[in-house]
Structure 1
Amino acid sequence: MSRSWSGRPRQRQFRPRSRWRKLADYGLTAAILALLALVSARLDRFDMRNTEGVAIVNDGDSITLGAERVRLRGIDAPEFAQVCRKDGEEYACGRRAREALSKLIAGRRVACAGWERDKYDRLLGECSAGGIDLNRAQVQAGWAVAYGDYQAEELAARRAGRGMWAGEFDRPRDWRATHGEMTDIEPGTYGRILNWLREIFRFS
């Protein structure tokens, strides 16, 4: 008995993918892309930037080193125009916080390191001058509050009544919520004019 053989390969029959299979494939693709994005973000986190130089102190938690603007990471100081209360009187705690940071730096070179930036494109950094951790020292002195870090230092300053803790104050983020974001206002002519206009509209 003989068999006939054409010699031609049999063509494989492919069934079209079901709707659910297509949705599952799309979901798997989206999950893989999300994972790649997460890995990329984690790698960027460790792209550490170091900058050093003579600092211009903008306020109690931000400085400028050359062309690099730096926001001290993990703390929040009162805005330059913010006022606090002590013994029933208002005082310019924003100015005091800036003065405190200036005294800590004392004209020395400042070194900062960080890997993230805020919405104003400022480097979020840990900074030091003359061996002093500026972020930590501002909270310890009571001229900044914890903002993600340094909770123990804030608690110690509060118990000792240092800086703003000697009286009453609004946390900087709460003050900004009611007065508008006033970051990066230089204490020069422009800043004085802007603050003057705000006072006019505040009491009108």
Structure 2
Amino acid sequence: MVKSFDRSGTEVWYVRAFLAAALAWLPTANASQQIQGKVVGISDGDTITILDSSRTQHRVRLHQIDAPEKRQDFGEASKQSLSDLVFDKQVTVEVVDRDRYRREVGTVWVEGMDANLEQIKRGLAWAYRRYARDPAYRAAEERARSARRGLWSQPNPIPPWEFRHKRK
């Protein structure tokens, strides 16, 4: 490290060294992280637990979807569907964020299939309007509605975000 001096002649190389070390640890902006591992738990229709190769558990919230709550109509069916898709299987998660509950948020890929999108196609999750940016998710929801699949077999299913709000 090259020594430098502030106006008073004091060495400030240690500040630069500290900053360089700190910046090396920061993740790059918009860097996509991937998690690979085996699904060892299903909390509900949009949350899973993965065990990676270093035996670290990751709680993952499926991005762009919102599934019925456990006590809501189709809550258990949504959980069972996600379990059928990913439980005890190797998956890859494209992590896009971390939520306020410290879960990683991402798209779950199993055997080449987007499990998040599949939950919507089966009529067991909504395209989460607040976060869904991929038009395929909204289109899949419209097709499930038209076909009256899953929760869309009911005349007026209550979105999970409204169900949660009413319970508070």
CA apart distance, 1:157: 0.4
CA apart distance, 1:118: 1.0
Q: C-alpha offsets along residues 25-69 of structure 1, whole Å, 9 cap, x if unaligned?
A: xxxxxxxxxxxxxxxxxx53x222211212111110110112211
List alignment gaps of at least 5 residues for structure 1.
1-42, 84-92, 181-204
In structure 2, the partner of 1:173 is 161
1:53 equivalent among 37, 41, 63: 37
Count of residue pairs brought into register by the alignment: 129
In structure 2, the partner of 1:164 is 151
Deviates more, 1:69-78 or 1:123-132: 123-132
**Percent of aligned pairs with the same amino acid:** 35
- Per the alignment, in what secondary structure is the counterpart of residue 176 of structure 1? helix
In the alignment, the residues of structure 2 paired with residue 106 and residue 123 of structure 1 have an alpha-carbon distance, to the nearest angstrom, of 18
Tell whether 2:94 aligns with 1:104.
no
In structure 2, the partner of 1:65 is 50
TM-score by length of 2: 0.72
- The 5 Å alignment of 1:33-44 reads 43-44=28-29
- Per the alignment, in what secondary structure is the counterpart of residue 107 of structure 2? strand
In structure 2, the partner of 1:5 is none
Greater helix share, structure number:
1
CA apart distance, 1:121: 1.2
- Per the alignment, in what secondary structure is the counterpart of residue 100 of structure 2? coil
In the alignment, the residues of structure 2 paired with residue 133 and residue 115 of structure 1 have an alpha-carbon distance, to the nearest angstrom, of 15
Segments of 4+ moved more than 4 angstroms: none
Q: C-alpha offsets along residues 57-113 of structure 1, whole Å, 9 cap, x if unaligned?
A: 111011011221111000000111212xxxxxxxxx111000011111253212101
In the alignment, the residues of structure 2 paired with residue 151 and residue 115 of structure 1 have an alpha-carbon distance, to the nearest angstrom, of 19
In the alignment, the residues of structure 1 paired with residue 48 and residue 167 of structure 2 have an alpha-carbon distance, to the nearest angstrom, of 22
Partner amino acid for 2:38? V
In the alignment, the residues of structure 1 paired with residue 42 and residue 33 of structure 2 have an alpha-carbon distance, to the nearest angstrom, of 20
For the pair shown, the structure with the greater C-alpha radius of gyration is 1
Tell whether 2:112 aligns with 1:131.
yes
In the alignment, the residues of structure 2 paired with residue 65 and residue 107 of structure 1 have an alpha-carbon distance, to the nearest angstrom, of 9
TM-score by length of 1: 0.60
RMSD: 1.6
List alignment gaps of at least 5 residues for structure 2.
1-27, 52-56
In structure 2, the partner of 1:113 is 94
- Per the alignment, in what secondary structure is the counterpart of residue 34 of structure 2? strand
Partner amino acid for 1:140? K
In the alignment, the residues of structure 1 paired with residue 140 and residue 159 of structure 2 have an alpha-carbon distance, to the nearest angstrom, of 16
- Per the alignment, in what secondary structure is the counterpart of residue 163 of structure 2? helix
In structure 1, the partner of 2:67 is 77
